[in-house]
Structure 1
Amino acid sequence: MKLTPSRSIMRGNSSPPASAQLCYENVTGSCVKTPYSPGPRLILYTVFASGAVLAVFGNLLVMTSILHFKQLHSPTNLLIASLACADFLVGVALMPFSMVSFCTFHTCCDAAFCYSSLFHLCFISIDRYIAVTDPLVYPTKFTVSVSGICIGVSWILPLAYSGAVFYTGAYDDGLEELSSALNCVGGCQVVVNQDWVLIDFLLFFIPTIVMIILYSNIFLVARKQAKRIETIGGKTESSSNSYKSRVAKRERKAAKTLGITVIAFMISWLPYSIDSVIDAFVGFITPAYIYEICCWCAYYNSAMNPLIYALFYPWFRKAIRLIVNGQIFKDNSSSVNLFSEQI
């Protein structure tokens, strides 16, 4: 992984200072290396490498758990597995490498995986809203086929949008001179014009608002359900009421965990989204280290989700133990019961 070159604008054909160290000494138009001392460089690479490893192996465990164990083959978990796939690709294709030889491809994948994660989370919030507000009817409304459609949309639309924007060159219309000035051999500096920056921000902002509204309603409904259960707690419950309360409790717990996932996503991506909008309107003057921090805060979200699942999902911790111990290679391992309670 190469650190992002300086984002300061080079005017005309001015050459770098003689004392500057170039990325490629014998190549005309080489980028100037960002001067990091050995100590901070070691810390940066350690943090970056840890995030990449966690994103790759953590999300690989999530995908393996859900796809292997039959008990986890639910519409919600299939969406989670697909979300983990997007995060896994961030860890494999974006975090370890700067991909400077394939700058357009790297940037396209960067945007596509971000929007794919966002779309997955938005569909998961809709799934959780239906599950909590109407848990008994939910299985007939959000089926595996509906989940498959949501997964398809979450992948196809981001890939099509990112490919159309970055491979047609529409993103830097009117900024061709600035783009040429900023780009150099050994760097990957993409400038996006104000129109596309605003569109990108809206594509982030609107689904985020939808998720906030849905999860706010989810927790309001969950609070009412909890009070109702407390009210009838001292009374003799019928088997039907007992079943309903247990189903509602399970769905509320799942909604809480996925709500934390959504909050983590917003916290991770908000600095980068805000910086992108501001930068486009003030001449791309964000210092390299600030831009680097914003990018890696966003990337690190892909490493956070497996940690959230491990903290709040007992079935995930049990699945990890079975995978690490090699138990999944035994006959009928896919039928192992991962849940401590039956409903």
Structure 2
Amino acid sequence: MLIQYCYESINRSCEKNGWSNSIKIPMYIFMVGTILTTLAGNLAVIISIAHFKQLHTPTNYLILSMSMVDFMLGSLVMPYSMVRSVENCWYFGEIFCKIHTSTDIMLSTSSIFHLSFISVDKYYAVCDPLRYKSRINVYVILMMIFISWVVPAIFAFTMIFCELNIKGAESYFNQVSCFGGCVVFFSQTSGLVSSMLSFYIPGFVMLCIYGKIYVIARTQARSIAANHIHFQITIGTSQNIPRNRERKAAKTLGIIMGVFIICWSPFFFCTAIDGFLRYAIPRIVVDAFVWIGYLNSTFNPMVYAFFYMWFQRALKMILFGKVFQHDSSRTILYSE
């Protein structure tokens, strides 16, 4: 098969993927569908929280910020990653490659930081409800949002533009690099540090917090069940309410952690060990894991918003154009 290059007239040009259209077209369809779903879902959350005054709460500000991160990932990062993944070529210049890579790492890490802070918010809401409003106020939420944006931005842009990601592996990077490529490369140290900061530490925090929330929610459900024993004869369904709540809490927390771990663990596991394996993991595998990680931003609005009745009602109003009606922003979406 004839080898094609990204730039035929330039020496050391990267090779294009030799896939046929029967492979490329389904890949483009899948990736375009992922991008559009990511944009639509997160835009719906943004419009809902920004438009309806009842949703202007500290917790929802955190969800709004996360949706903005995921929307930017879908609009600013994923389209360029799509061309790179399918064609194995980068046509947008070396400087923009660094900007794209930095933005990719920043937004992906920022999205994970938001998930961790949302777990902290849920912890206080369930485990310390009496002091929740005093502990989790607007200023605390704004600090969480500030950290979720600024820390990943400083980390990502400093690492890429100062080339800290290739420090210690310069010789190997120079051997495998080619003109027209934009591969995210990590040395042993940078891969381990990046994985710890962006995934393992936030993931461990989430796992511990949600585990604690589940235990407390189960204890509260059993306590409510005990208090309702004497009503079982007169109210036959009351004994099922605590168990239903317990199952619903377990299901919700399981989906939250399951989606997060399934989407991001393959990529960050590879990132952490690839340097120690002398980069034996094929690039196509790593690239596939990148897109699986992107899916977390696609699923975030479904996991964190579609479970809420207020979002379902807000979405109906958006789809039917009722948000353009007078005083629609004052619509009561849920009872306090």
Distance 2:326 2:109 in 1: 39
Check conservation: 1:197, 1:277, Cα contact below 8 A.
yes
1:255-284 CA deviation, whole Å, 9 max, x = no partner? 964663343122101000111122111222
Q: Compared with structure 1, are the counterparts of its residues 123 and 280 closer, same or farther at alpha carbon in structure 2 (3 Å cutoff)? A: same
Q: Which of 119, 128, 131 does residue 137 from structure 1 map onto?
A: 131
The farther-off stretch of 310-319 and 150-159 is: 310-319
What letter matches 2:145 in structure 1? I
Q: Which of 40, 49, 53 does residue 66 from structure 1 map onto?
A: 49
Q: Quote the residue 1:147 is aligned against.
A: 141
Q: Quote the residue 1:81 is aligned against.
A: 64
What letter matches 1:63 in structure 2? I
Q: Which of 282, 301, 315 does residue 306 from structure 1 map onto?
A: 301
Q: TM-score, normalization: structure 2?
A: 0.86
Runs of 4+ in 1 over 4 A off after TM superposition: 249-256
Check conservation: 2:12, 2:179, Cα contact below 8 A.
yes
Distance 1:65 1:208 in 2: 28
Equivalences for residues 149-228 of structure 1 within 5 A: 149-203=143-197, 204-228=199-223
1:180-218 CA deviation, whole Å, 9 max, x = no partner? 332223210232111111111221212211111110110
1:49-73 CA deviation, whole Å, 9 max, x = no partner? 1111111111011111111111111
Residue 109 in structure 1 maps to residue 103 in structure 2:
yes
Q: Quote the residue 1:261 is aligned against.
A: 256
Distance 1:165 1:113 in 2: 14
Give me the CA root mean square deviation: 2.3
What letter matches 2:313 in structure 1? K
Q: Compared with structure 1, are the counterparts of its residues 88 and 209 closer, same or farther at alpha carbon in structure 2 (3 Å cutoff)? A: same
The farther-off stretch of 145-154 and 326-335 is: 326-335
Structure 2 gaps, min length 5: 82-89, 232-240
Q: Compared with structure 1, are the counterparts of its residues 250 and 163 closer, same or farther at alpha carbon in structure 2 (3 Å cutoff)? A: farther
The farther-off stretch of 118-127 and 254-263 is: 254-263
Distance 1:337 1:234 in 2: 35
Q: Quote the residue 2:14 is aligned against.
A: 31
The farther-off stretch of 177-186 and 324-333 is: 177-186
Q: Quote the residue 2:323 is aligned against.
A: 328
The higher-RCO structure (CA 8 Å, 6+ apart) is: 1
Q: What is the number of equivalent residue pairs in this alignment?
A: 313
Distance 1:91 1:251 in 2: 35
Check conservation: 1:128, 1:255, Cα contact below 8 A.
no
Percent identity over paired residues: 38
Equivalences for residues 284-295 of structure 1 within 5 A: 284-295=279-290
1:281-309 CA deviation, whole Å, 9 max, x = no partner? 12222223212211110011111122224
Q: Quote the residue 2:37 is aligned against.
A: 54
What letter matches 1:32 in structure 2? E
Q: Which of 288, 297, 321 does residue 292 from structure 2 map onto?
A: 297
Task: Please give the secondary structure, in 2, of the residue aligned with 1:84.
Answer: helix
Check conservation: 2:192, 2:273, Cα contact below 8 A.
no
Task: Please give the secondary structure, in 1, of the residue aligned with 2:129.
Answer: coil
What letter matches 2:77 in structure 1? L
Q: How many angstroms does 1:229 deviate by?
A: 1.2
What letter matches 1:329 in structure 2? F
Q: How many angstroms does 1:91 deviate by?
A: 0.5
Q: Compared with structure 1, are the counterparts of its residues 260 and 317 closer, same or farther at alpha carbon in structure 2 (3 Å cutoff)? A: same
Check conservation: 2:221, 2:245, Cα contact below 8 A.
no
